[in-house]
Chains A and B, each alone.
Chain A
Amino acid sequence: MSEKQSSAWSPSPRELERRRSRRAISRKQAIIAAASSIFVLGTLSIILVTSPGWEIFKATFFDLGYGVEIFPTVIKGLWINLQLTFIGGAAIGVIALGLALMRTTKSPALTPFRFLATAYVDIFRGAPLILIILLVGFGVPALGLSGIPSNVIFLGTVAVVLTYSAYVAEVIRSGILSIHPSQRAAARSLGLTSGQTMRFVVLPQAIRRVVPPLLNDFVSLLKDTGLVSILGVTDAVRAAQINASRTFNYTPYVVAAILFLLITIPMTRYTDRAIRQRTNAQNSEGAI
């Protein structure tokens, strides 16, 4: 205890008594938390381990030897997921920003684009992603248009980009709308045009504000790229599926799940930290 911080001050007997009480309270809370955790987790593991199927469960889902054997095929598939995520993510960022700007514009020349952007968002946000993947993946090649590649990875990426652009556009738009009108008034009164106001004043603040939900969408995107496996793309999910159906051992699925988590969890933690640091640099009173 650093009770001798200042030579002029030492805690009164009352304060010492209060500190004793606080310590007693936190001791008691720690004991309760520990007892509760041991009881709940202990009970769960006993139920799991003593269940009749435990040995079979272990062998089918956590077969270490088999996991190591199929690991290269799953990681090769995961590389496809990552490529899809980053290439798709870049495209989504650009398209979503365009849609969000179109939806928030008041310029009369852009009126038709505002309607189109709204319709686009309504349609692609409302329809299940898996349907869009099937429609694009099987429907577009059926049209027999020349010049459009029929590569399933390309078509799968297009489908994911179409849907996610609608989600991300709405996130960005909500960020734009959350900036207080006084910021616009200040920018316009300095002579900035509405375009300059958007670019230099509103958007930078809006994007900063929506980084956490955007990260959420990015993690979802990485996971949802697994859905393109229905088109026959050998991504991590598909690779795991192929292996599992050959041997009826489900360890490949667990391997794939762990690999996804190894990427998504650090990504979330890292971004949380980055946001906190920037927020601290700019604001003395927490988030904007």
Chain B
Amino acid sequence: MSNVLELVNVRKSFDTEVVLNNLSLSVPEHTATVLIGASGSGKSTLLRCINLLETIDDGQIFLDGREISDPLINVDEIRRNLGMVFQSFNLFPHKTVLENITLSPIKVHGKSKDEANTHAIALLKRFDLSDKADQYPDRLSGGQQQRVAIIRSLAVNPRLLLLDEVTSALDPVLVNEVLSSVRDLKLDGMTMVLATHEMGFATQVADEVCFLESGSIVERGTPEQVLKNPVNPKTQEFLKRVHQAGRL
């Protein structure tokens, strides 16, 4: 099993604040790596660095063995193979659901409109959203919008899917519909890196759980190890607080 994604000693700082500190991570094919940790621990920044939305200060990032942290690389070409889903959905409000999904397949991947539409409609059907194809995003509930955003990132058959706290902006009922969509992707064998605050969900989908604190992975392992029997005091403290907040 080869690693789709490999991070080696990645460092990232904003001005004087170090956000990622000497961070290393391997994501084998068909596995899901879940990043947990308090707000500000560097989860989102890590995902944005992988997607080359941020430039790292040091270290290396490899996608399928190819170094993508090389400044000479064509970022647009790399991003074609990466899907990203954002906390705030970031759908294009001036485009219908179908247009949102087919934009990249048509303009970036050079598919015909018919081909892209057929694929998009099949995906919408699978996620139970076929009746929303011609709606504008603002007419949809938050959960529906987020599922459309997931479909949008899937429509280009990404090598790796990055999910950045995809349920944080949703109420508990909507959280479930989005999470079950992500679980389906996992069953399909999609390689994923997720940042989440949903510990129950992390237990279900994660092959590896990484607990981030101040830009470093302080504990990693299977969900059973990290979430049920953490050894690091910081992890224990974090999980205790999550438990008190009723989110475990």
List the interface of chain A (C-beta within 8 A of B): 182-183, 185-193, 196, 200-201, 204-205, 208, 281-285, 288
CB distance from A182 to the nearest CB of B (A): 5
Partner of A282, one of B77, B90, B138: B138
Interface SS of chain A: helix, strand, loop or mixed?
Answer: helix
Say which one of B7-15, B25-33, B80-88, B237-245 lies at the interface with A: B80-88
9 more CB-based (< 8 A) A-B contacts, given A191-B108, A284-B138? A183-B92, A187-B103, A189-B84, A190-B104, A191-B76, A191-B80, A196-B107, A205-B94, A283-B93
User: Could you give 23 example pairs across A and B, Cβ below 8 Å?
Assistant: A183-B90, A185-B86, A186-B90, A187-B92, A188-B53, A189-B51, A190-B79, A190-B103, A190-B153, A191-B104, A191-B108, A192-B103, A192-B104, A196-B107, A200-B103, A201-B103, A205-B92, A208-B94, A281-B136, A283-B136, A284-B139, A285-B138, A288-B93
Which chain B positions have C-beta within 8 A of A208?
94
Tell me the complex Cα distance, A282–B138, Å. 6
Given contacts A182-B86, A208-B94, A282-B138, contact A189 B79 (CB under 8 A): yes
Which chain B positions have C-beta within 8 A of A190?
79, 103-104, 108, 152-153, 156
Given contacts A282-B136, A285-B138, contact A192 B94 (CB under 8 A): no
Tell me if A185 and B107 are in contact (CB < 8 A): no
List the interface of chain B (C-beta within 8 A of A): 48, 51, 53, 75-77, 79-80, 82-84, 86, 88, 90-94, 103-104, 107-109, 136, 138-139, 152-153, 156
Given contacts A191-B104, A192-B76, A285-B138, contact A186 B156 (CB under 8 A): no
Tell me if B88 and A182 are in contact (CB < 8 A): yes
Which chain B positions have C-beta within 8 A of A189?
51, 53, 79, 82-84, 153
Which chain B positions have C-beta within 8 A of A188?
53, 75-76, 79
Which chain A positions have C-beta within 8 A of B93?
205, 282-283, 288
Tell me if A196 and B108 are in contact (CB < 8 A): yes
CB distance from A201 to the nearest CB of B (A): 6
Tell me the complex Cα distance, A183–B53, Å. 12
Residue of B nearest to A281 (CB): B136
Which chain B positions have C-beta within 8 A of A200?
103, 107
Tell me the complex Cα distance, A183–B93, Å. 9
CB distance from A283 to the nearest CB of B (A): 5
Tell me if A193 and B86 are in contact (CB < 8 A): no
Tell me the complex Cα distance, A188–B88, Å. 16
